[in-house]
Chains A and B, each alone.
Chain A
Amino acid sequence: MAEMDGFLALSVALTGYNRAALWATGCAPAYRRQLAEVAGPALLERLEAAGFSHAATPARGPADALLRQTVLADPDLGPPARSLIQLWYLGQWTPMPADWVRRNGAKLADTARIISTRAYREGLVWDAIGAHPMGAKPQGFGAWAEEPPVESAR
């Protein structure tokens, strides 16, 4: 479990979902593997370190600002971080841009694909938009007639 801490801290910062919610997808280990295979050990370590420091910074504003500077605006860390967000939200890996590939090399795992049927079903986007994955986790007969969910679930 402990080896997942850095990855989860990073993912919590990037997705806006807490650790329990990310574990609850059942996808965390597979996503870390995917990130590791594309980013490689050195970049993964830097990404996870950024996750730890985000978690260790009590004030959200400065923590997010630091994450933007050190990760999202970084030519090596930014693209995999943004793909990781999309992986969590859609269950689908977004390949690295050409510039990143020139800098870091092409990776076999860096293809556009839905990681697994579970990854599809557990995409955070469906919860975020107040719905359910199309073709899974149905809400029951007539649920579509009910009031929309409240503005923010948290």
Chain B
Amino acid sequence: MTCLVDDREELKSLMADAIRIELSTIPPYATAAYTISEAGQYDRIAPAGVNAEPLEVIRQVMLEEMLHLTLAANILNALGGRVVLNEAGAIPSYPCHILPSGKGPIASLRRFTKAQIHAFREIERAPENFDKVKDGDCRKAETIGGFYYCVKKKLEALCRKYPSREVFTGDPSWQIGPEHYWGAGGAVFPVTGQASALRALDIIVEEGEGADLGGRAGDGDLIPGIEEEDVAHFFKFNEILLSRYYRPDDRIGAPPTGGDLIVDWSAVHPMRDDPKAEDYAHLPEVHARMLEFDALYTSFLMTLHDAFNGAPERLRETVSSMMKLRHTAMALVRIPVNEAGETAGPGWTFRV
């Protein structure tokens, strides 16, 4: 038999995993987007935006991952746990497995290529079934959907066994609300009990794989999210790969049939894979810039840590840090580092 304390400890530790999962996807998505060299109109006679859409799609996904990260932090805080983002051990370094099982999708820092978008699609793929976690060990999950399915079952079970006020013992003043976070990917809400905790989990999963947690949306169903003009991430990446938008009546399993989404896979900076500042010690100017990026990323995480640890108003400061990260990364991927013209890139390394 387990007791409340043990069950809650397990959930807290799983939510810490969830935060790491959400965080781990942001740098790869961001890096791919930042390597797109041209976005806009190529041809002023037949104007059509080229690569602007993929850029926008990835940006949107990234912002939603930030939202998911924040919602996961709210759940963990509601359970009375502690978010840790201020030490290297808590921060993914790339390439890495996204899930604690060490199996399933891998996150790496690559330029915008078909292969990388395929990899992103795999990250967001809904599970075929939940066999891997049927014994109740969420850490065995090999898909994000499977992981959250398992977490949700555990949370539901806990809430069935104990009253909400005994489960959610965190300080409500630590919760991030819409007043702290708005205008990027959706609205955040405080987690104060079972209903809001489950809603937060549902949003994280629905915007991702688009699977509902009761089971996978099947072939022939409407594309998840299409009615709100915000299809789930898996399908967004599919749109890029197939150069076409989904239409409101498109079905899962069938290709999208909407308007053109023009992708130029060649208009991309040739960033070297998985950049690390250490690799460029022989190029002092580049090295310094890469360290500057890492310093910005570290300070971003430190601020995020504070915001999730009792200073929610500090979340606002992360907005301008994210802008700086973007501009600094976009500059890095234009700097050639060898005669072949391959370029530097953001290393997303936590350094103190």
The answer on direct contact between A and B (beta carbons under 8 Å) is yes
Question: Do A117 and B40 form a contact, CB below 8 Å, given A140-B322, A141-B319?
Answer: yes
List 20 A–B pairs whose Cβ atoms lie within 8 Å, in order of A's numbering. A1-B338, A1-B339, A18-B285, A20-B283, A20-B286, A20-B288, A21-B285, A23-B335, A24-B331, A24-B334, A25-B331, A25-B334, A117-B40, A137-B327, A138-B323, A139-B323, A140-B323, A141-B183, A141-B319, A143-B323
Question: B341 at interface (Cβ–Cβ under 8 A)?
Answer: yes
Residues of B332-351 at the interface with A, using a CB-CB cut-off of 8 Å, are 332, 334-336, 338-339, 341
Query: When chains A and B are docked, how far (Å) is the Cα of A146 from the Cα of B324?
Result: 14
Minimum distance in angstroms from B30 CB to a CB of chain A: 15
B11 to A: closest C-beta gap in Å: 34
* Residues from 87 to 142 in A contacting B, C-beta threshold 8 Å: 117, 132, 137-142
Interface of A is mostly: loop
Taking Cβ atoms with an 8 Å cutoff, the residues of A that contact B are 1-2, 18-21, 23-26, 117, 132, 137-143, 146
Dominant secondary structure at the B interface: helix
Bound-state CA distance A24–B332 (Å) is: 6
- Tell yes or no: B316 within 8 A of A by CB: yes
Residues of B at the A interface (CB closer than 8 Å) are 37, 40, 183, 269, 283, 285-286, 288-289, 316, 319-324, 327, 331-332, 334-336, 338-339, 341
Residue in B37, B40, B285 whose CB lies within 8 Å of A26: B37
Contact of B334 among A18, A23, A138 (CB under 8 A): A23
Given A26-B37, A138-B323, A20-B285 contact (CB < 8 Å): yes
Residues in chain B near residue A141, CB distance under 8 A = 183, 316, 319-320
B59 CB to closest chain A CB (Å) equals: 13
User: Could you tell me the distance between the alpha carbons of A139 and B321 in the complex, rounded to whole angstroms?
Assistant: 8
Leading 6 A-B pairs by shortest Cβ distance: A140-B320, A20-B285, A24-B331, A26-B334, A140-B319, A140-B323
Q: Are B339 and A142 in contact (CB under 8 A)?
A: no
- Looking at A1, A23, A137, the one whose CB has the most chain B CB atoms below 10 A away is A23
A145 to chain B: closest CB distance in Å? 10
Beyond A25-B334, A117-B40, is A19–B319 a contact (Cβ under 8 Å)? Answer: no
Q: Considering the chains assembled together, what is the distance between the CA atoms of A21 and B292 in angstroms? A: 13
- Give 5 new A-B contacts, CB below 8 A, not counting A140-B321, A142-B319: A1-B339, A24-B289, A117-B40, A141-B183, A141-B320
Residues A1 and B336 in contact, CB atoms below 8 Å apart: yes
Give the complex CA separation of A2 and B352 in angstroms: 36
For the complex, give the distance between the alpha carbons of A117 and B40 in Å.
Answer: 9
A20 pairs with B335, CB closer than 8 A: yes
Task: Say whether A1 contacts B341, CB under 8 Å.
Answer: yes
Q: Would A24 and B335 count as touching, CB distance under 8 A?
A: yes
> How far, in Å, is B98 (CB) from chain A's closest CB?
28
Closest chain B residue, CB of each to CB of A140: B320
Cα(A143)–Cα(B327), bound, Å: 15
Does the CB pair B320–A139 fall under 8 Å? yes
Min CB–CB distance B2 → chain A (angstroms): 45
Query: Is the beta-carbon distance between B316 and A23 smaller than 8 angstroms?
Result: no
In the assembled complex, which residues on chain B have CB atoms less than 8 Å from the CB atom of A26?
37, 269, 334
B336 in complex: contacting residue of A23, A25, A117, A142, CB < 8 Å: A23
